[in-house]
Amino acid sequence: MLRCAMMSYRDYPELLTDLIFLKMADEYSRSPYNRKVDFPAEYHWQSPKAECGAALEVYGVTLLRTGR
């Protein structure tokens, strides 16, 4: 799967870390924490949840390239 997505083995853990960060930010933005999450809407946790298949791969690669 990683080779098909043109993702290196080093990028995969970084992508997982980014996704975990998005999930944590989403949790903190909800009750009981209600903290303000200040980054673009296209990078919120709900964005990758709505994607599947090839679109999710594109989202992941975009997220990795944006974070560098």
Delimit the domains of the chain by residue range.
Answer: 11-66
Q: Are 7 and 15 within 8 A, CB to CB?
A: yes
In this predicted model, which residue has the larger pLDDT, 15 or 36?
Answer: 36
pLDDT band at 5 (very low <50, low <70, confident <90, very high): low
Angle between helices 54-66 and 11-29 (to 10 degrees): 90
The token duo for 60 is 């992941």
pLDDT in tens, 35-47: 988 877 777 777 7
Q: What is the pTM of this model?
A: 0.65
